[in-house]
Amino acid sequence: MRILGIDPGIAIVGFGFIDKVGSKVTPVQYGCIQTEAHTPDEERLLHVYEAMLQLIDKYKPDSVAFEKLFFNRNVTTAMSVSQARGVLILAATQRGLPIGEYTPMQVKQAVVGYGKAEKKQVQEMVRMFLRLQVVPKPDDVADALAVAICHAHSYTLNSKINEVLRK
């Protein structure tokens, strides 16, 4: 199963493709989509959307996992990130991909085993899980891989629960 994890943003969208075979997860490709700061929002959103479609078409994930947004300060940032998240969800939906969504606490719990883990702990666990030499940069990339790992763990559990419920 190939999973695409996404850390949404307007300036930087982190993405990470992983393969899950049995209990083993391996990295396929990861990086970020970046937009220029003084570009009109509509152009930034179009760039994010088109770049995501290209990535989906190239790496052909079986499902997509997003980090749910959490903002406690800047409403302006929240709005533009929400718009970016919307075009990213649209891209995945247009390609017929199932979507999972996880709170930051759920991601931390799945990757570190503690829902209030520090960002550095999550990044180091991502590096270890995927047997990488260094923590992926920028932080958005490591966050996207953490979301993908969370989905890999949750998807297995959710599939088993749904199997039992169908009987």
Three-class DSSP category at 18: strand
Contact 119, 139 (CB under 8 A): yes
Contact 138, 32 (CB under 8 A): yes
User: Which residues are known catalytic residues?
Assistant: 7, 67, 140
| Separation CA 140–CA 142 (nearest Å) | 6
Q: In degrees rounded to 5, what are phi and psi of residue 56?
A: -60, -45
| Residue 139 among known ligand-binding residues | no
Which CA distances in Å does 78 have to 5, 35, 74, 85?
20, 16, 6, 10
Three-class DSSP category at 55: helix
| Separation CA 91–CA 102 (nearest Å) | 18
| Residue 7 among known ligand-binding residues | yes
Binding-site residue positions:
7, 67, 140
Binding-site residues for Mg(2+):
7, 67, 140
